[in-house]
């Protein structure tokens, strides 16, 4: 389901690092006229401009991961420990992406100790409390963001090339995609873990079993409440999910399950300052942005630039 685009205000939040990595792996090597590798920059910029075109935002912001150690890493040293270092040819492209974002006058947020997910979680929480007439869309490649979906906040997953379409997820779409509710997203990861982030979960419990457990018992707390009842002598039902090897695994890994729950939860109370008004899409110099796209060799993207205040002023004067 999509928002009714007749609503006056729409806020788009860009999960930059998730999109940069997606673009880097999706696009073949591409160099600028000056010989710089810019495949990730091109892919990111195309997603960004398409989001502005399709989502028609009134406001927009870009969030970035901070290079410092995160709170999750302090909590669990193995968090993302197995990930390979950022490729050498991607590192300089981060700065070029930020040049694009700066040229569009899009506010950028990163904060030591926190991931971009946490900043987005905090900003959307602020929006739902302080700007209730504004709808928000999170543009990302990360399904972890599904936990933030509400009536006022949706997730927008860009398609992969021509094979898949861009998808906007509300609560119903998340359930259709994942087989669980938005409120169960965190606990799904708590049970099955996440190899990409090195979140342990319960060893040996996969997605199918985790969904069955949550369908039967609603939450991680519900799963372990039922386990305690069974351990205390309660009679198992004919449809009992917590039995045999699953029961043994849950008993052995309760500590990891609750650690994983903590690691998987996006922080919605980051100590940051945010103001909505500076995020207006039209407050940028289109000529500057156009020249930067030319410099990078992105001529095909120039026509996708949003109108700026000057163009809107001319249009208003003429019509």
Predicted confidence (pLDDT) per residue in 172-186, tens digit: 999 999 999 999 999
The pLDDT-based confidence of 319 (bands split at 50, 70, 90) is: very low
Q: What tens digit of pLDDT does each residue of 122-142 get?
A: 999 999 999 999 999 999 999
Instruction: Calculate mean pLDDT across residues 6-28.
Output: 91
In this prediction, residue 62 carries a pLDDT of 98
Percent of the residues in the chain that have a pLDDT greater than 70, as a whole number = 88
Q: Give Cα 106 distance to the centre of its chain.
A: 18
> Is-contact 152 131, C-beta < 8 A?
no
Long-range Cβ contact pairs of 282-290 (< 8 A, separation 24 or more): 282/306, 282/307, 282/308, 282/309, 282/312, 283/105, 283/308, 283/309, 284/103, 284/104, 284/105, 284/106, 284/308, 285/103, 285/105, 286/310, 286/311, 288/103, 289/100, 289/103, 289/104
In this prediction, residue 159 carries a pLDDT of 87
The pLDDT-based confidence of 86 (bands split at 50, 70, 90) is: confident
To the question of domain 183-264 being in CATH 3.40.50.920, the answer is: no
Q: Show the 3-state SS of 214-239.
A: HHHHCCHHHHHHHHHHHHCCCCCCCC
The pLDDT-based confidence of 80 (bands split at 50, 70, 90) is: low
Query: What predicted TM-score, i.e. pTM, was given to this entire model?
Result: 0.91
And the tokens for 52?
């502005």
Mean pLDDT lowest for which of 80-89, 108-117, 225-234, 249-258?
A: 80-89
Which of 282, 289, 276, 309 lies closest to 102, judged by CA? Answer: 289
Residues 6+ apart with CB under 8 A from 60: 11, 12, 13, 14, 52, 106, 279, 281
Domain with CATH 1.10.150.20 in the chain: 183-264
To the question of domain 10-179+275-309 being in CATH 3.40.50.2300, the answer is: no
């Amino acid at each position: 389901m999509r928002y009714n685009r007749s609503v006056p205000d729409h806020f788009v939040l860009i999960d930059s690092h998730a999109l940069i990595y997606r673009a880097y792996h999706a696009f073949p090597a591409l160099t600028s006229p000056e010989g710089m590798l810019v495949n990730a920059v091109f892919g990111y910029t195309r997603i960004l401009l398409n989001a502005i075109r399709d989502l028609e935002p009134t406001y927009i912001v870009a969030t970035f991961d901070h290079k410092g150690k995160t709170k999750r890493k302090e909590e669990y040293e193995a968090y993302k420990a197995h990930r390979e270092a950022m490729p050498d040819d991607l590192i300089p492209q981060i700065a070029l992406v930020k040049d694009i974002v700066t040229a569009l006058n899009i506010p950028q947020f990163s904060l030591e100790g926190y991931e971009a997910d946490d900043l987005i979680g905090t900003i959307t929480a602020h929006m739902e409390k302080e700007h209730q007439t504004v709808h928000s869309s999170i543009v990302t490649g990360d399904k972890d963001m599904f936990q933030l979906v509400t009536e006022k906040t949706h997730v927008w997953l860009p398609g992969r090339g021509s094979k898949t379409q861009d998808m906007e997820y509300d609560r119903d779409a998340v359930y259709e995609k994942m087989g669980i509710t938005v409120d169960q997203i965190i606990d799904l990861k708590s049970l099955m873990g996440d190899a990409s982030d090195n979140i342990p979960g319960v060893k040996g419990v996969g997605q199918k079993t985790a969904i069955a457990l949550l369908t039967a018992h609603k939450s991680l707390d519900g799963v372990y409440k039922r386990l305690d009842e069974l351990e205390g002598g309660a009679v198992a039902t004919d449809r009992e999910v917590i039995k045999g090897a699953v029961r043994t695994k849950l008993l052995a890994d309760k500590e990891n399950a609750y650690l994983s729950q903590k690691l998987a939860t996006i922080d919605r109370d980051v100590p940051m300052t945010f103001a909505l008004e500076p995020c207006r899409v039209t407050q940028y110099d289109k000529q500057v942005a156009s020249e930067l796209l030319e410099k990078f060799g992105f001529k095909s993207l120039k026509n996708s630039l949003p109108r700026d205040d000057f163009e809107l002023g001319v249009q208003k004067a003429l019509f």
